[in-house]
């Protein structure tokens, strides 16, 4: 294989390739200078606090919003000019349930099948109902479905046209753990068939089920890579502190917050996570507390959540 | 992290009835101030009503368009025509050359009256034969023609009183024969029922589509719809066509009841009536759809529909005679599909008008429909920007 061919192949394997995306609403940048690449067949987790620009980014990728600056391609189509083509090959699941509440499960799916111009919308709807375990609920009005079933119906709707790329915007918000697990199994099954999935989420356990993750806060992409890479890249020193009484932990929280070297203090049940980027400064600050017998200090690897809370704090500092 | 304890806020003793009412009142005012369309409606509705009722509407209309068929040139004829115009009810706008042309003008609704001065009229007057002058009136709208016709009585006495060559014989020198066409008994229902077809269709069709796009936006289904491969024209036609059928059933129902219960005739061609009614339905649906693409939410769409409906009722010729309105109001009326449809539906049902007579009104409705659709498609936001 010659070199240009290899380059061509690697370009084909990049499903989302955008550079410098910026989107402003009323002069306020919601997404700033965002660049990302997503490889074919990966599950790409998109993380960040509320209002960080995740939904806006997803909408720019599927042609629902026009970026103010930056350019890029989605499935090889220009996100500015080829939105009609993108819409044919991308399945988008909105954050809020956006199918017709007054249509039944079957009617919703048949409608979508007809819009995508499927040859046999009825058969496609039947197949989707069977695949998603909605059999027996075909004639139920969408409005009457519980959150978990609505989410399943929405997944069925956005995968109905056999898209090459799925954009899922917080698909599991407000769904119980069992339904979430089933949902993720389905996502992995789809990815195994070669589908690329970009999924935004708040849940750390979901982030850990992604092949790659990106963290966005206040419009900036702060970190990306595999979970291990992101954790390693944070250079956080983390201690888990436990104490006999919760009053003692509360007091420790107040005392440590804002001290040199302490970037994050966060309670986790009966323990406290204390983390900082500057290991030396952190050690110096906590040394007096470690000397006493009141607290038990344990050095630990940072969790993904530690990393994100710390990233978010850093981003807010930069933002203000 | 700091533990934030909720501070004990001081509370007023007692029930606080007025305090809570005040809170609600302040909130309502803030919301009203942000809602521009409601605000506009508060100002526009009284303003529009006052202007229209004050300046445009006239229940004893004057200067009604009149055609004169002159079959001889004579002093007597000229005096009568001058007297006719002096009543200020009649305004001679057309000088047709034949009786057939007179019929066409009345059928197409271009004139409400036609005066025919026959050959030998002057001679007959001077001989003291008391000849008859024929005045045809389009009596479909009794309000429009009634007061003008009642003014004709004095005309006979006064028209020729300065003409001294006419024998004084006690009786008036000539008589007027009024031919009240299409609705000789001046039955109001004959005019109102066809008018109601248009008015009801305007109201219901407008509301069906005025809510269609805003409803999708409010329920959040628009985001999903826009992310799929469907174009604005496809969305528009898909939303309009079902209601064309609904409107057709509605029109058939009103016309059927009008014929069965009120004895309104259908003199003209039923197929032509059905075809032009369908065009009218589609035009209204397109206008409602346009409102839907402009409005931010369902409430605004409803308010726009109401503000549009108002001039339709007042300026279309439904309640008040079109010919009696000042020119500016007639121009406004010409931009409303209902104005054209009223001429069509009354023309076909009561006068037996044909496609040739109604081509102008049909074309005007078609143009209005295309304008509305073009605005709707260009206004339709394909993105969420």
Task: Note whether B109 and B175 are same-domain residues.
Answer: yes
Q: Helices in A14-120 by DSSP H: which ranges?
A: 54-61, 83-89, 105-115
Chain B nearest-CA distance from A226, in A, is: 29
Task: Note whether A155 and A71 are same-domain residues.
Answer: yes
Do residues B163 and B75 touch, judged by C-beta distance below 8 A? Answer: yes
What number is the average pLDDT over the span B156-174?
69
Task: Note whether A206 and A246 are same-domain residues.
Answer: no
Task: Identify the CATH number of the domain in which residue B100 sits.
Answer: 3.40.1710.10
Chain A nearest-CA distance from B33, in A, is: 20
User: Does some domain include residue B20?
Assistant: no
Instruction: Please name the member of B1, B224, B230 whose beta carbon is closest to the beta carbon of A98.
Output: B224
- DSSP secondary structure letters along A232-244: HHH--EEEEEEES
pLDDT for res A9: 47
Task: Note whether B124 and B200 are same-domain residues.
Answer: no
Q: Half-sphere exposure of B62 toward its Cβ, with a 13 Å CA cutoff?
A: 6
B5 touches chain A (CB under 8 A): no
Chain B nearest-CA distance from A300, in A, is: 20
User: Does some domain include residue A315?
Assistant: no
Q: Please state the domain count of chain B.
A: 2
Task: Report pLDDT digits (tens) over A61-106.
Answer: 999 999 999 999 999 999 999 999 999 999 999 999 999 999 999 9
Task: Note whether A149 and A251 are same-domain residues.
Answer: no
Task: Note whether B147 and B212 are same-domain residues.
Answer: no
Task: Give the integer Cα–Cα distance in Å for B226 and B223.
Answer: 5
User: Does some domain include residue A313?
Assistant: no
B221 contacts in chain A (CB < 8 Å): 98-100
User: Does some domain include residue A317?
Assistant: no
Task: Note whether B325 and B239 are same-domain residues.
Answer: yes
A265 contacts in chain B (CB < 8 Å): 1
Q: Is A152 exposed, middle or buried (0-12, 13-18, 19+ CB in 10 A)?
A: buried
Task: Note whether B253 and B113 are same-domain residues.
Answer: no
User: Does some domain include residue A320?
Assistant: no
Task: Give the integer Cα–Cα distance in Å for B375 and B381.
Answer: 12
pLDDT higher than 60, residue B364: yes
User: Does some domain include residue A160?
Assistant: yes
A237 is written with which tokens? 């020193």
A74 contacts in chain B (CB < 8 Å): none
Q: Helices in chain B by DSSP H: which ranges?
A: 17-34, 36-51, 75-86, 99-107, 121-127, 142-150, 152-158, 188-210, 212-219, 221-226, 232-262, 270-294, 298-315, 327-334, 337-346, 355-379
Chain A nearest-CA distance from B380, in A, is: 13
User: Does some domain include residue B345?
Assistant: yes
Q: Please state the domain count of chain A.
A: 2
Task: Give the integer Cα–Cα distance in Å for B69 and B57.
Answer: 30
Give percent of chain B with pLDDT exceeding 90: 34
pTM: 0.82
Q: How many Cβ atoms are within 10 Å of A224's Cβ, its own excluded?
A: 21
For A154, the closest chain B residue by CA position comes to B224
Which range among B13-17, B40-44, B68-72 has the greatest average pLDDT?
B68-72
How would residue B209 be classed by pLDDT, with cut points 50, 70 and 90? very high
Q: What is the DSSP letter of B131?
A: P
B385 touches chain A (CB under 8 A): yes
pLDDT higher than 80, residue B185: no
Asked if B227 and A87 come within 8 Å (Cβ–Cβ), the reply is: yes
A26 touches chain B (CB under 8 A): no
User: Does some domain include residue B125?
Assistant: yes
Q: In this predicted model, which residue has the larger pLDDT, B46 or A157? A: A157
Task: Note whether B221 and B82 are same-domain residues.
Answer: no
Q: Half-sphere exposure of B301 toward its Cβ, with a 13 Å CA cutoff?
A: 26
User: Does some domain include residue B31?
Assistant: no
Residue numbers of the domain that contains A259: 237-301
Instruction: Please name the member of B220, B224, B385 whose beta carbon is closest to the beta carbon of A65.
Output: B385
Give me the average pLDDT of each 10-residue run along chain A (320 residues).
44 86 90 92 90 91 93 93 93 93 94 94 94 89 91 93 94 87 91 93 88 88 88 87 85 87 84 87 88 86 84 66
Task: Identify the CATH number of the domain in which residue A39 sits.
Answer: 3.40.50.300
Task: Note whether A147 and A269 are same-domain residues.
Answer: no
Q: Given B181, B197, B221, which residue is the final one in a domain?
A: B181
Task: Report pLDDT digits (tens) over B278-304.
Answer: 999 999 999 999 999 999 889 899 999
Task: Note whether A206 and A272 are same-domain residues.
Answer: no
Task: Give the integer Cα–Cα distance in Å for A235 and B37.
Answer: 55
Task: Note whether A122 and A243 are same-domain residues.
Answer: no
List the single best residue of B3, B217, B228 to mutate versus A (max A Cβ within 10 A): B228
Task: Note whether A25 and A91 are same-domain residues.
Answer: yes
Q: In this predicted model, which residue has the larger pLDDT, A23 or B34? A: A23
User: Does some domain include residue A154?
Assistant: yes
Task: Note whether A186 and A297 are same-domain residues.
Answer: no
Q: Which of residues 185-224 of B touch A (CB under 8 A)?
A: 219-224
Task: Report pLDDT digits (tens) over B78-102.
Answer: 888 888 888 888 888 888 888 888 8
Q: What is the DSSP letter of B347?
A: I
Asked if A64 and B383 come within 8 Å (Cβ–Cβ), the reply is: yes
A170 is written with which tokens? 């917080």
Tell me which residue has tokens 């092949």: A211
Task: Note whether B371 and B251 are same-domain residues.
Answer: yes
pLDDT for res A2: 42
Do residues B273 and B266 touch, judged by C-beta distance below 8 A? Answer: yes
Asked if A98 and B223 come within 8 Å (Cβ–Cβ), the reply is: yes
User: Does some domain include residue A28?
Assistant: yes
Q: Which residues contact A168 (CB under 8 A, 6 or more apart)?
A: A93, A155, A158, A187, A197, A198, A199, A200
User: Does some domain include residue A308?
Assistant: no
Task: Note whether B226 and B146 are same-domain residues.
Answer: no
Q: What is the DSSP letter of A104?
A: B
Asked if B219 and A101 come within 8 Å (Cβ–Cβ), the reply is: yes
Instruction: Please name the member of B1, B228, B385 whose beta carbon is closest to the beta carbon of A115.
Output: B228
Q: Given A227, A252, A287, which residue is the final one in a domain?
A: A227
User: Does some domain include residue B143?
Assistant: yes
User: Does some domain include residue B40?
Assistant: no
Asked if A254 and B2 come within 8 Å (Cβ–Cβ), the reply is: yes
B168 touches chain A (CB under 8 A): no
pLDDT higher than 90, residue B159: no
Q: Given A197, A227, A257, which residue is the final one in a domain?
A: A227
Asked if A267 and B1 come within 8 Å (Cβ–Cβ), the reply is: yes
Q: Given B164, B181, B198, which residue is the final one in a domain?
A: B181
pLDDT for res B166: 65
pLDDT for res A316: 65
pLDDT for res A312: 77
Q: Given B181, B209, B240, which residue is the final one in a domain?
A: B181
Asked if B383 and A101 come within 8 Å (Cβ–Cβ), the reply is: no
List the single best residue of B222, B227, B235, B239 to mutate versus A (max A Cβ within 10 A): B227
B2 contacts in chain A (CB < 8 Å): 253-254, 257
A253 contacts in chain B (CB < 8 Å): 1-3
List the single best residue of A91, A94, A117 to mutate versus B (max B Cβ within 10 A): A94
Task: Note whether B334 and B233 are same-domain residues.
Answer: yes
A241 contacts in chain B (CB < 8 Å): none
Task: Note whether B272 and B154 are same-domain residues.
Answer: no
pLDDT for res A5: 44
How would residue B167 be classed by pLDDT, with cut points 50, 70 and 90? low
Positive or negative torsion for Cα B137, B138, B141, B144 = negative
B235 contacts in chain A (CB < 8 Å): none
pLDDT for res B178: 84
User: Does some domain include residue B39?
Assistant: no
Residue numbers of the domain that contains B128: 64-181
Chain A nearest-CA distance from B373, in A, is: 22
Do residues B70 and B119 touch, judged by C-beta distance below 8 A? Answer: no
A241 touches chain B (CB under 8 A): no
Task: Note whether B141 and B119 are same-domain residues.
Answer: yes
Chain B nearest-CA distance from A130, in A, is: 23
Q: Which residues contact B64 (CB under 8 A, 6 or more apart)?
A: B89, B90, B91, B112, B113, B144, B145, B148, B321, B323, B324
Task: Give the integer Cα–Cα distance in Å for A155 and A170.
Answer: 12
Phi, psi of A276 (to 5 degrees): -160, 155
Q: In this predicted model, which residue has the larger pLDDT, A298 or B323? A: A298
Task: Note whether A203 and A101 are same-domain residues.
Answer: yes
Task: Note whether B209 and B325 are same-domain residues.
Answer: yes
Task: Note whether A223 and A259 are same-domain residues.
Answer: no
Task: Note whether A222 and A242 are same-domain residues.
Answer: no
Task: Give the integer Cα–Cα distance in Å for A242 and B2.
Answer: 18
CA triplet A71, A77, A81: central angle to 5 degrees?
Answer: 65
Asked if A116 and B228 come within 8 Å (Cβ–Cβ), the reply is: yes
User: Does some domain include residue B50?
Assistant: no
Q: In this predicted model, which residue has the larger pLDDT, B29 or B371? A: B371
B383 touches chain A (CB under 8 A): yes
Task: Note whether A204 and A74 are same-domain residues.
Answer: yes
Task: Report pLDDT digits (tens) over B90-145.
Answer: 888 888 888 888 888 888 888 888 888 888 888 888 887 888 888 888 888 887 78
Task: Identify the CATH number of the domain in which residue A271 sits.
Answer: 3.30.70
């Amino acid at each position: 294989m010659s070199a240009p061919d290899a380059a061509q192949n690697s370009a084909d394997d990049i499903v989302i390739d955008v550079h410098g995306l910026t989107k402003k609403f009323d002069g306020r940048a919601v997404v700033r200078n965002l660049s990302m690449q997503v490889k074919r067949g990966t599950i790409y987790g998109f993380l960040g606090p509320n209002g960080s620009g995740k939904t806006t980014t997803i909408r720019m990728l599927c042609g629902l919003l026009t970026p103010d600056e930056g350019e890029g391609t989605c499935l090889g189509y220009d996100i500015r000019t080829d939105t009609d083509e993108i819409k044919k090959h991308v399945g988008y699941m909105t954050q809020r349930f956006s199918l017709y509440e007054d249509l039944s499960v079957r009617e919703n799916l048949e409608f979508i099948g007809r819009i995508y111009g499927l040859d046999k919308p009825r058969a496609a709807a039947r197949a989707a109902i069977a695949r998603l375990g909605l059999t027996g609920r075909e004639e139920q009005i969408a409005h009457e479905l519980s959150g978990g079933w609505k989410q399943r119906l929405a997944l069925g709707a956005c995968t109905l046209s056999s898209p090459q790329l799925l954009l899922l915007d917080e698909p599991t918000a407000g769904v119980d753990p069992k339904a979430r697990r089933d949902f993720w199994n389905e996502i992995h099954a789809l990815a195994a068939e070669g589908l690329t999935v970009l999924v935004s989420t708040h849940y750390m356990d979901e982030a850990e089920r992604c092949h790659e993750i990106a963290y966005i806060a206040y419009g900036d992409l702060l970190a990306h890579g595999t979970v291990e890479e992101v954790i390693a890249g944070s250079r956080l020193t983390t201690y888990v502190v436990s104490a006999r009484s919760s009053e003692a932990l509360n007091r420790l929280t107040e005392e440590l917050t804002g001290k040199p070297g302490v970037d994050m203090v966060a309670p986790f049940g009966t323990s406290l996570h204390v983390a900082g980027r500057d290991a030396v400064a952190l050690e110096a600050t906590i040394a007096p507390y470690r000397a006493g017998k009141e607290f038990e200090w344990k050095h630990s690897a940072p969790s993904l959540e530690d990393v994100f809370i710390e990233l978010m704090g850093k981003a807010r500092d930069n933002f203000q | 992290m700091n533990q934030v304890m909720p501070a004990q806020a001081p509370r007023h003793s007692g029930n606080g009835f007025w305090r809570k009412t005040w809170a609600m009142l302040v909130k309502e005012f803030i919301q009203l101030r942000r809602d521009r369309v409601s605000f506009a409606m508060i100002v526009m509705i009284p303003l529009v009503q006052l202007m229209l009722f004050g300046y445009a509407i006239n229940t004893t209309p004057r200067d009604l368009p009149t055609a004169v068929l002159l079959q001889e040139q004579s002093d007597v004829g000229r005096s009568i025509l001058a007297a006719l115009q002096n009543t200020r009810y009649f305004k001679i706008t057309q000088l047709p050359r034949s009786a057939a042309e007179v019929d066409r003008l009345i059928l197409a609704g271009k004139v409400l009256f036609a005066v025919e001065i026959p050959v030998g009229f002057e001679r007959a007057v001077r001989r003291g034969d008391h000849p008859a002058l024929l005045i045809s009136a389009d009596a479909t709208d009794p309000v429009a023609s009634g007061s003008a016709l009642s003014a004709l009585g004095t005309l006979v006495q006064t028209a020729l009183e300065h003409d001294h060559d006419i024998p004084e014989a006690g009786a008036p020198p000539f008589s007027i024969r009024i031919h009240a066409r299409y609705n000789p008994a001046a039955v109001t229902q004959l005019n109102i029922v066809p008018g109601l077809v248009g008015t009801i269709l305007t109201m219901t069709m407008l509301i069906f589509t005025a809510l269609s796009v805003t409803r999708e936006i409010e329920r959040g289904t628009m985001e999903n719809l826009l992310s799929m491969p469907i174009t604005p024209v496809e969305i528009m036609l898909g939303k309009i066509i079902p209601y064309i059928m609904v409107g057709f059933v509605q029109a058939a129902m009103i016309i059927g009841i009008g014929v069965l219960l009120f004895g309104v005739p259908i003199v003209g061609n039923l197929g032509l009536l059905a075809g032009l009614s369908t065009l009218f339905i589609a035009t209204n649906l397109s206008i409602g759809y346009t409102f839907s693409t402009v409005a931010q939410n369902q409430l605004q769409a409803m308010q726009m529909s109401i503000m549009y409906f108002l001039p339709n009722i007042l300026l279309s010729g439904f309640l008040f005679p079109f010919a009696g309105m000042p020119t500016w109001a007639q121009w406004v009326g010409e931009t409303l599909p209902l104005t054209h449809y009223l001429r069509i539906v009354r023309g076909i049902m009561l006068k037996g008008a044909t496609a040739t007579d109604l081509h102008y009104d049909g074309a005007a409705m078609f143009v209005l429909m295309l304008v509305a659709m073009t605005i709707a498609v260009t206004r339709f936001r394909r993105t969420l920007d």
